[in-house]
Chain A
Amino acid sequence: MIAVGAWICLLSPLVAALAIALGANRFSRKATGYLATGSTAISFIAAILALGATLDRPESERSTVTTAFVWLGTHVGSIDLALLVDPLSLVMMLVVSGVGSLIIAYSIGYMDGEEEERRYFAYMAIFVFSMLLLVESANFLLLLAGWGLVGLSSYLLIGFWHERPSAVAAAKKAFIVNAIGDAAMMLSLFALLQHTGTLDFAAVFAQAEGLGKHPALINIVALGLLAGALAKSAQIPLHTWLPDAMEGPTPVSALIHAATMVTAGVYLIVRAHPLFEQAPYVQDAAAGLGAATLLGAGLIALVQTDIKRVIAYSTMSQIGYMFLAAGIGAYGAAIFHLMTHAFFKALLFLGAGIVIHALGGEQDMRKMGGLRKRLPRTFACMLVGTGALVGLPPLSGFFSKDVILAEVFSSGTYGKVLFAAGISGVFLTALYSFRLLFLVFSGEESEPARKRLTKHAGAEGPGWMTRPVAVLALLAIGGGWLEIAGLWHPFSTFLDQVAPPLVGAPSSAREWLLSAGSLGIALGGVWVAWTIYSARTQPAPRAPKALVEKLYFDRAYDLIFYRPAVALSALLRTLVERPVIESSEREIEAQTLTAGRLVTLTQSGLTRSYALAVAAGVSVIVIFFLALR
């Protein structure tokens, strides 16, 4: 049952993608949407069945490996086409297929009337397949295959509107930055394979302690994996692609760049935690970079004017929290926040999608405002999503973020420093998310909004768009109740087999105390946002240049990598290409022609001279042989 569920879950979106690709015009545009949604829903049902079958088993036997066949047989060992179903991958499967089917259903309404809907739905289905492959694989190689495939589908979907140069550039940027991470990851897997002779999760992790005795090796392996995770999850310093990735359609941003793919890095760290635990410095680096990202992205989000970019930076910031948790060893908390974040961030993106859809493609928040009356249900959903993001009880984010903060607080001196970053992040989160909410929904109705919205009735879009948003809103409210400090924690208990709980976990009294503190700080942030952007009793402060410039990362990379590369190429062109290669090409051509002309002299066309040559040649041979005797 578990094995069948896992395979159906994995292959159903692939079948849909192939059907759409091969069926071409035989499917109507709507039908491709139904096909993609249906196949992902089937994946979700299969994942639930697998979950049920897993829960029936005793706790120690909840990890199932199902092998289709030997994929690569080598002299050092073989790598199987095998899936691993355990609590961790089940959570990821449920999130990917569940949130995925809701978002693809939403796209049926959002993408309606788009020129190339079929291509869109085929890409979406491919993405879901790749993501499921990533989370279900039982060895590092298959994980890497899924890792590359999600990068590919992300590239394809960011550049979906390929007639826009900015979208193409964004797609390319995402692909290149991810390729850096992929390459690092691959090198680390080579090192791993050389020393362990296998890439199977179970076999590698069984040897983890032995690997820990070679500090150089284990640090390289962990660093390579971390680099892959940083690139995929858009963490500093490989984060620059995510804000640009907002060029893609909004449901793509919701599915790939908020709910699922960008959290793959967190999944990787949690999955490979036996390796990371042997390399404590790398773990600390992961936590530190997470903290840096959550602060940096939170700061940049304060000054963004594009509604999707604010949410994109917020995503980076929230994944920063997950890296923070995974880095200190609070794996359950990281995955829990990953799940609730998938709910409320998908909700926020889809809500923003409704706003953008209603305004005919307008994404600038300065041109919005006063939409509360026109889009009341969307406002309610966005309010829920924002509340969950900020961590207001009893919404989901309250529970998941506070677990992370409490566990960070109780992990040593370094933990205290990270905690300070995390708690400042709470304030920033409250500030930027309520800034977004107030700018879009409160205040005077702006001119473009009034013009667009009076024309339509039903501005919030068709039922295909509103219903998934409503479901996500319910999930964003209730998703956190799986884990209530001091009362019950079925979620982390379920995960404990795969991701052991933090040693010295905080007492629930301390957890509640910290929750109260962070709630107070969050409310402070909300109050500041209210005074500036809604009540307008304070003038909006001018945006600092450093933040508008996104902390100069793009500039720095341009200066450090792009320009020297271009300068070097130009130099090589003048020093090597032109004088050496191009002129030698010309010289070789001229010499060949001259030689050819010389040879044509022998081709007189006179039969008798040929005969003479033959006779002369024969006589030479004869004389030679005679002389030899």
Chain B
Amino acid sequence: MLGPGIPFYLGVASALFAIGLTGVLLRRNPLIMLLSVELMLNGTNLALIAFARQHASLTGQVFALAVIAIAASEVVVGLGLVVAMARKKIDLDIDVLSRLRR
């Protein structure tokens, strides 16, 4: 098998996941939070594909494709909402956007 071994892939994947998680937890702009979620998803995807390669099984790759499709749809909805809020001149601060609570 060419290329680096599985630990390297997993290292990059968990780094991506951690960066994304930090972004979700620390940033208040919904746009940035969506981007961070995207990072987390791709970190997971990388891990899935790496395992698929190691086990020479297609299952992980198929799973990664499904995740990409779902992530795409999620972005459509999420970005749509963000754009709509920006158009209405609503403050793009996740802590202010807590109206669903009441």
Contacts and interface: CB of A to CB of B under 8 A. Distances in A.
Interface of A: 603-608, 611-612, 615
Interface centre among A603, A607, A615 (most CB of B within 10 A): A607
A606 B98 contact: yes
Interface in B70-101: 94-95, 97-101
B75 to A, nearest CB: 17
B68 interface: no
B33 to A, nearest CB: 8
Nearest to B27: A608
B24 interface: yes
A605 B24 contact: no
Interface in B12-37: 21, 24-26, 28, 33
Nearest to B98: A605
A603 B102 CA distance: 10
A620 to B, nearest CB: 15
Contact of A604 (B25, B33, B101): B101
Interface of B: 21, 24-26, 28, 33, 94-95, 97-102
Contact of A605 (B21, B25, B26, B100): B100
Contacts of A615: 21, 25
21 contacts: A603-B101, A604-B98, A605-B99, A605-B100, A605-B101, A605-B102, A606-B94, A606-B98, A607-B94, A607-B95, A607-B98, A608-B24, A608-B26, A608-B28, A608-B94, A608-B95, A611-B24, A611-B25, A612-B25, A615-B21, A615-B25
Given A604-B101, A608-B26, 17 more contacts: A603-B101, A604-B98, A605-B98, A605-B99, A605-B100, A606-B95, A606-B98, A607-B33, A607-B94, A607-B95, A607-B97, A608-B24, A608-B94, A608-B95, A611-B24, A611-B25, A612-B25
Contacts of B94: 606-608
Nearest to B30: A607
Contacts of A603: 101
A615 B37 CA distance: 12
A100 to B, nearest CB: 72
Contacts of B21: 615
A606 B28 CA distance: 10
Contacts of B95: 606-608
A615 B36 CA distance: 14
Contacts of B101: 603-605
A57 B12 CA distance: 107
A615 B20 CA distance: 12
Contacts of B28: 608
A607 B99 CA distance: 11
Contacts of B25: 608, 611-612, 615
A606 B25 CA distance: 11
A172 B46 CA distance: 82
A625 to B, nearest CB: 16
A615 to B, nearest CB: 6
Nearest to B22: A615
A605 to B, nearest CB: 3
Contacts of B26: 608
Contacts of A611: 24-25
Contacts of A612: 25
Closest 7 CB pairs of A and B: A605-B101, A605-B98, A607-B94, A611-B24, A606-B95, A612-B25, A611-B25
Contacts of A606: 94-95, 98
Contacts of B33: 607
Nearest to B33: A607
B71 to A, nearest CB: 17
A622 to B, nearest CB: 11
Contacts of B99: 605
A618 to B, nearest CB: 9
B82 to A, nearest CB: 13
Nearest to A607: B94
A607 B94 CA distance: 7
B50 to A, nearest CB: 18
Nearest to B21: A615
A607 B78 CA distance: 14
Nearest to A619: B21
Nearest to B100: A605
B16 to A, nearest CB: 15
Contacts of B97: 607
Contacts of A605: 98-102
A306 to B, nearest CB: 72
